[in-house]
Amino acid sequence: MAPESHPLHFLLVPLLSQSHIIPLTDFGKLLAQRGLTVSIVTTPRNFIRYRAAISLAASTGLQFQIIPLEFPCEEAGLPPGCENMDSLTSMDLAPEFFVACELLEVPLLKLMAELRPRPSCIVSTNALPWTQRVADRFNIPRYIFETISCFTLFCSHVLSSDRTQEMIAAAASASEPFLVPDIPHRIELTKAQLPQAKKKSAGKDIETVIDQIKRARSSSRATLVNSFEEIESGYVEGYAKVARTLWCIGPVSVCNKKPAEKLDRGNKASIDERQCMSWLDSKEAGTVIYACFGSLCRISAAQIKEIGLGLEASGFPFIWIVRDASLNAQAEEWLGEEKNSLEERVGERGLIIRGWAPQVMILSHRSVGGFLTHCGWNSTLEGVSAGVPMITWPMFAEQFYNEKFVVHVLGTGVRVGVEVGSDTGDEKSAFVKWDQVKRSIEELMKGDDEEEREEEEERGSWGKGRERRWKEKGLLTRILRC
């Protein structure tokens, strides 16, 4: 008699941040579509956020569930309810947040002992090295799910060598550019643009976490990257030589094909789907600027005003997502409450969404012709997958790497012009004026030939002409496989 077979059960453990939970949820859906049992671990408040997306997948017969574990906020020194990085009142609380995440180890061990079928493996995002201990306890493999690109992984590896570190340290100033050696393209960075440049200000605990992440990489069974080889071939090959085993499994966001799947990702959308689609349907193809800066970027009222003035002055229709954390009385008055507010001046040409928006749904609409983005990897990959060119405005973490990849490797966009992150304290260098926003929009949307644009506008075919010009520049990368 053949031995009894046990169904494979994948346990997914994301860092409690939108940029980790959303792609790992998409990956879980892809696994479940292949007949596997999948459980994703989260916390009570995040359970409320994501249960709609997972319930939708489960309603189609997929073996996909979400399991909440109590999050020890107060035990780790966090205010009550801080269960996601976007709920932190200050990024100075990040060390305490990582402590709270690690305190989930004991309840996770208890959960795994109770789950049936028993988990066959753990897939955790890169920022949770302690999950390797959990996997070892149950003698099952752990796979790392990287939420950054192979370009970033390989460049970071190259820059970590002693020789390169000496070269960076020898730079006369934080703004002096240096060439990243031994990679397929000519890429220049500055010390001020490196994530490592902020380690000291972030505190010793964060440095410890980073060191633990590096050590845990060598213990994992393999590394999964949310990317695909067709756009990163040289960098996939480069990082594969130093990673234990490397598999590209993305872009995972394209598993969301139905409107309901594109709508229910992360928080509940702050706008009615029909209202959003009706507004987009009313615009010509390739004419709308979509502006969104992710779930963690906090933007000052003064910077919000400059963004709005730039969008207004560009003359293009736009959808602009403004996070709740960036909205204060001053910003809200200027946007929509005071007389002659931005919303009043632009009228139907502008749609401002306060809170959360269905980004994949918006980017995939035919009217969207440009994406003003903070260059988070999820947003970057979603823009590429939708064939939408980008205006790059990196703010922190690895986002300057992503800007270099978008502008200099893919040729998929133009820079707004920032040279340092917004969290460096150098407000003069990080602050972007309205005319920079306007200029970058015009550069992306109009192209170099103003006469050709005017002729296309007269024929009513400008959107198609803009798309053709970007194709000629090598943009609009199409997904060759999922």
SS (H, E, C) 166-231: HHHHCCCCCCCCEECCCCCCCCEECHHHCHHHHHHHHCHHHHHHHHHHHHHHCCCCEEEECCCHHH
pLDDT band at residue 429 under the 50/70/90 scheme = low
Percentage of the chain modeled with pLDDT above 90: 64
Could you give the CA distance from residue 404 to residue 34 in angstroms, rounded to a whole number? 35
Does pLDDT of 464 surpass 60? no
Amino acid at 410: L
Q: Give the Cβ contact number of residue 451 at 10 Å.
A: 7
Q: Give domain limits for the chain.
A: 9-151+193-254, 269-472
Each residue's pLDDT tens digit, 270-327: 678 889 999 999 999 999 999 999 888 888 899 999 999 999 999 999 999 998 766 7
Amino acid at 143: Y
Each residue's pLDDT tens digit, 111-160: 999 999 999 999 999 889 999 999 999 999 999 999 999 999 999 999 98
Same fold, 9-151+193-254 and 269-472: yes
Fold entry, domain 269-472 = Rossmann fold (3.40.50)
Name the maximum alpha-carbon separation found in the chain.
Answer: 81
Distances (CA, A) of 88 to 202, 297, 298, 399: 14, 12, 11, 20
Which CATH number describes the domain made up of 9-151+193-254? 3.40.50.2000
Rg (CA), the chain: 23
At residue 289, what are phi and psi to the nearest 5 degrees? -95, 125
